[in-house]
Structure 1
């Protein structure tokens, strides 16, 4: 069976659906945890990594009879994969070698849960610079390093056993019974000099100058607390027996953490402290201990880590002196264009695949007086196309050809795609699994709600004999044998679903087309059991694919569960396990925080005595198993691992420059100015092409568009197809997660087509005869053809480009020819196009009705 991607008819209410999408969506917030770097497309042509080496030491006495201390030293090299133009919540890949191996490893290395292990590598985001010549107020210190809990900043012990008082490098003022802070600065409620107890406090000094004593939970910044909305980003990471380790570190700006205050104007530093242990004043001090756990071991919970070599004393002079510092450079905040942009925003609407590129592209327009204030707004393709054809928007960003597109050109704008992000821990080590494989049938099982998830869902008639989740599916284990769970371990309910979209999207269309072109997946959907006996959920048997909106079809309501909560909340159960969300951004955030959107948690209202169903909790490190549909741009920005997908049978392909280029070479453009068709049937013949590869096009009218709007669209096409394809992390550059479109190589036909569309948009000339096929159509003219290098345009007809506030009425014809010129701008960054639309309130009112109608009209149609 062969099914090609083709034009999709728009729903009658596509424009109203757009309003509902704009109005909908709630931000997800929850703890972030470690992930392993993956080979995503690396657009950056310049290496933004930084590496530094330092010899770290400890002086200790091996026995009470020793007369001289022994100096233990390690030459530690720390590398960070990026450190400039950082965006909010971006994750840095931190790696090191030469550190002391960690013993008694904690199950969760983040925040207070990570301090009780021996010889961890502690990583912090600290306000200030590590420069002894800088003013004292601008220098880093433990007082300016962020931690989320009191346990990481406050210590107390019997005065005779408080080992930090025996630190040979401590300031004399820090060896008293109360140390770390002047007692006169402590609030009256802070304990001091009680009986024979010694106290050490590491206060936090906020960006606005506020002093937080950190003597108890009441004297911490508002963003800090156990279980707070913004979780720990500080990590006490593991070092292997070979002295090497890695960690993903999430940087935060003042938008998330105002007390820390990092921004483009407030310098901050990544501080890495390889814990070597306290250096002791004499042979009798308790700080001479070297650890109770062997390297590589896990904390069994029966014996605590020896404090002298634990993470709890990261702030001590002995450990702090061994720090390794990496300066962090932040982009301007997301509201830059709102505050500083030239003229009113000119919104384009469309695919979320463009969102991360828009973060870097937007300020290159809004801060340049020679350009208009371009704003990108995420919206389903069909709805965005409807706004463009209705004249509400000048252009739409779409991923495939749309219905009724006479007189519309599609300029290739970005090459990216989708990925299946995963947060999966190896049950044998508790660490993030490094290379996951998935095929189309496994994805079909997840989307069709064919896993029960838990004891309740497993009672659904027709799937009682199916595995509860992906973790225990023999097909999944065969592909990922290292993940076979220990006997008797119950899988997480989150492993029963792929966190996906509730709205229409070209991404869903491409994903379900991938499934539709797999014989095994389609046989499963048609009702044939897999080789291990698993069957499709009866509600999805023979479901039509591909579709742009995935339907929730299961209506089974559990009964006789013995649960008062479920008895009070009668509703279809498996859709609560699937629990899709309204945007790919929300999926990326959920993956970043390891917080499934599964809505099966029962909570009782103590006031009313009634039960309600809500979202399950955040998954702990070592117990994570969660998959989500994401853009490759989001995956690259947030350091989310992405699974390898099966292309040709037996070949599993990860998203890389090479695999995405291989996919583009299979695409064809049948008609000039129209999109290139990337057929999943062709992908399945290649052992190296990545199935999730997609192209975003700027769709605009080639006639019937006012000259002012035509000039703006033409300018956007020119800039985005030239300087916008220059790889890098700065203003106007193309970020990671995208394959640059160039005048040569696999993307050359895309580049050529973009220039043809730009010329046609500028001309705004209605053809007198039907458009003829492009002379370069067909396989020989596709990305794999022999058309030769394509040079950048040197003399193209141009139209005046008015400011965003200029009237849209026709203007006089251009008096000159040549490329549109642009001016340089300072480096900044922006959000992907914030701001509210004038019709937001109308969309909010109609959202509920449109959601139902859209699902009926879009979700149930398809091609088989």
Structure 2
């Protein structure tokens, strides 16, 4: 009854979801003043009854659960959850997500539930098992013979729930009738609809097989010392409408340490204590656990009473300014490095009537700069120096954010050693990954020039020398590539500049073998670097005799392994879900019956190995570990405050006192402390020919973004993690000084002269009786005085957080209002077109 078809297991590797709450948490919860962390300790016990009817407390534990943050959460942000004192787990699953994690004993279950653990609230606003999300019906319905139904003997169960049918008063019509003992935990959606949850067809739409997101819930493993940890992905109503969590609908992260059923009698099934040894594996899900100590019965009173409930509070959603902002949106286009800062900055502008409605859209830096220089946008957000094509246009650069790129990794240590938390990479290893020089499999080994190369990164002696103790036996396609961008970006230019500046990497690109004999893919030999767009040059199609699918879909193999994507958001999502974008799996198209190539399944916990090129802002938001990169030979530097600060100190301004700052990789190679991936994002704006209102807007943005916007924090208007604050003093003082110069130049420029058209004097006509006044354009805000950053309260919208509600939704209105706002923004066909082209691509979904 508790087995799921193996075909479904591919969908269940992810991170998980949770959401808002301002109400008090469970008893014993503690939160330090000014801290976003949360911690609580509960005393857990389990009572067993022997054959003589004697009750004994078989286990007693003080369990502490801690989280690193639980307020101002963005969608898909990951919360780090840790615990101590829990019962050691047994029968570890390769994939602990959703149904695949059920065949374990004594795990710690993490799940997202709507509502709060606050007894003062009305019953329908409190969380309960019926408001907790699970991705499959198997996690909500349990069927067993009466002799194998331990929940019927739960010491803490209501007598009404100890019969053959429990959880519901009568068997729903859409549930299969059975002579077995049955417990059903229905799911109640945010809209108030009840899903019986007893089959695939009786679950909410987000739980459908093939749905966009893998499971939300995780049955996490506890080590032999009672300790464990997991990264839990939060999701909002944008990802899961049925659950419905948002900044106005309260939700909780519920952590249930599975201690086992406390028994009311000597029932054999209830009194079982486990079939697996602590620390053992059940990777194939081939063995069945003792039900009484498994997460199948998370809803039973014995387990549910042991829950920890962490109240969650979400930040305003990305659509806030589109729906609630005052004034016409003014969009700056440019660097993807600004994405996480934009999420927190935009509401602080659009919800403040003293400011303009600032928004930012991702666009390749070169295109954004050209758009600004031609007058199509007030400003561009770019990294590095550049000049307008029109030499009569003058442009100033105001440093706005110090961040950069990173190489995120998701790698497990051998033998259940847990996730690796540190990694060292150099420029030559990055060159090997980008040039598809690892053959990935026997198919890639057919490619001339790659036959003797290590199949994947983890088998490369150079990598092993830098990172000892990782899997040096098993190869994989995912471990042979770096998930990267297919589009133009200054980040690609930066990483290829890093490769070009390294003598060993440069020699490798020219065809020189590394000390172990590995050579570059011939397709990339002598590629001139740096480049802003990484080219896909390998065209080799391997021979596939006896493989009908591949024979019917002949295509270059290694580009299918690399499979770059169009946005950093897609890369981050793939890393969160441990889901490589390798597109080499043969499948059958259900519509045509023909073979097709698709994306490989997510990787299982314990055997993960993948890397992705990410922004430091995304890495910090989503809890992605990032590798240390080699600076000077033998020195590996992390993208932390020290590494970014040292890199800023080396950054140089070019193009005069209003020029952009950039990092010369030759200088980095002489430093032992500077992080090579640091980039300075500047607000580039014209200092000649800009109209007065636009100049005031740009000056206001420079002033606020470089003062209030540099105060670290998670609130609206503050600087998120992944960025180094720009301040008046210290290593970033030169950036702040440049801001002031550029702001002054923007304000000081003279608006272009506009010739007044000559209008013929009209014939006399009677004045209208009550002519409506013409609509005057809203005046631009005056440039404010410089503001000194203070650790003040962030700007917030006045929205009230409630527990569970049935929200009123308007599908037409939801689509129409953004459309109207968009039309209001259009000042001409060019502006409209460039806005459309500048939008960031949607995050990666299922192939």
1:55 deviates by 1.1
1:309 deviates by 1.0
1:171 aligns with 2:158: yes
Q: 1:474-528, CA deviations, whole angstroms, 9 ceiling, x for partnerless residues? A: 2112222221334xx3x22122221111111111111011111111111111111
TM-score, normalization by structure 2: 0.85
CA contact (8 A) 1:424 1:626 kept: yes
**Separation (CA, whole Å) in 2 of partners of 1:669 and 1:842:** 33
Match among 40, 50, 60 for residue 73 of structure 1: 60
1:58 aligns with 2:58: no
RMSD of equivalent CA atoms: 2.9
**Separation (CA, whole Å) in 1 of partners of 2:592 and 2:306:** 56
Change (3 A) 1:215 1:533: same
1:765 deviates by 5.6
In the TM superposition, 1:370-389 aligns within 5 A as 370-389=354-373
Q: 1:181-227, CA deviations, whole angstroms, 9 ceiling, x for partnerless residues? A: 111xx4323234x33x1000111111111111112222111111455
CA contact (8 A) 2:12 2:214 kept: yes
Match among 628, 638, 648 for residue 664 of structure 1: 648
1:696 deviates by 0.5
**Separation (CA, whole Å) in 2 of partners of 1:263 and 1:510:** 37
1:427 deviates by 3.2
**Separation (CA, whole Å) in 2 of partners of 1:495 and 1:644:** 18
**Separation (CA, whole Å) in 2 of partners of 1:66 and 1:187:** 36
**Separation (CA, whole Å) in 2 of partners of 1:144 and 1:51:** 23
Aligned to 1:772: none
CA contact (8 A) 1:33 1:621 kept: no
1:695 aligns with 2:680: yes
How many residues are aligned here?
A: 761
Aligned to 1:448: 435
**Separation (CA, whole Å) in 2 of partners of 1:205 and 1:313:** 19
TM-score, normalization by structure 1: 0.84
1:718 deviates by 0.5
Secondary structure, counterpart of 2:229 in structure 1: strand
CA contact (8 A) 2:718 2:794 kept: no
Change (3 A) 1:393 1:840: closer
**Separation (CA, whole Å) in 2 of partners of 1:749 and 1:45:** 34
**Separation (CA, whole Å) in 1 of partners of 2:591 and 2:312:** 48
Change (3 A) 1:672 1:170: same
Which of 675-684 and 699-708 deviates more?
Answer: 675-684
Match among 230, 237, 244 for residue 220 of structure 2: 237
1:509 aligns with 2:493: yes
Change (3 A) 1:737 1:460: same
**Separation (CA, whole Å) in 1 of partners of 2:798 and 2:314:** 9
1:607 deviates by 5.7
Change (3 A) 1:187 1:470: same
Change (3 A) 1:808 1:383: farther
Q: 1:222-247, CA deviations, whole angstroms, 9 ceiling, x for partnerless residues? A: 11145532211111111111111110
Aligned to 1:858: none
Secondary structure, counterpart of 1:483 in structure 2: coil
In the TM superposition, 1:384-783 aligns within 5 A as 384-404=368-388, 407-429=394-416, 431-486=418-473, 489=474, 491-559=475-543, 561-605=545-589, 608=592, 610-670=594-654, 671-764=656-749
Change (3 A) 1:846 1:138: closer
Change (3 A) 1:669 1:526: same
**Separation (CA, whole Å) in 2 of partners of 1:267 and 1:605:** 41
Aligned to 2:760: none
Q: 1:599-642, CA deviations, whole angstroms, 9 ceiling, x for partnerless residues? A: 22233346645433333232222332211110011111111111
CA contact (8 A) 2:490 2:532 kept: yes
Match among 763, 771, 796 for residue 826 of structure 1: 796
Change (3 A) 1:81 1:751: same
**Separation (CA, whole Å) in 2 of partners of 1:45 and 1:214:** 41
**Separation (CA, whole Å) in 2 of partners of 1:593 and 1:357:** 23
1:95 aligns with 2:91: no
Change (3 A) 1:221 1:354: same
1:569 deviates by 3.2
**Separation (CA, whole Å) in 1 of partners of 2:601 and 2:287:** 28
Change (3 A) 1:817 1:617: closer
Secondary structure, counterpart of 2:582 in structure 1: coil
1:819 deviates by 4.8
Change (3 A) 1:504 1:492: same
CA contact (8 A) 1:291 1:306 kept: yes
Aligned to 2:845: none
Q: 1:638-692, CA deviations, whole angstroms, 9 ceiling, x for partnerless residues? A: 1111111112222222211111111111122242011223111111222222111
1:270 deviates by 0.9
**Separation (CA, whole Å) in 2 of partners of 1:258 and 1:525:** 49
Change (3 A) 1:160 1:611: closer
Change (3 A) 1:696 1:327: same
* Structure 2: gaps spanning 5 or more residues: 1-9, 17-31, 752-774, 800-817, 842-847
CA contact (8 A) 1:648 1:687 kept: yes
**Separation (CA, whole Å) in 2 of partners of 1:166 and 1:227:** 37
**Separation (CA, whole Å) in 1 of partners of 2:74 and 2:356:** 23
**Separation (CA, whole Å) in 1 of partners of 2:788 and 2:233:** 38
**Separation (CA, whole Å) in 1 of partners of 2:328 and 2:689:** 23
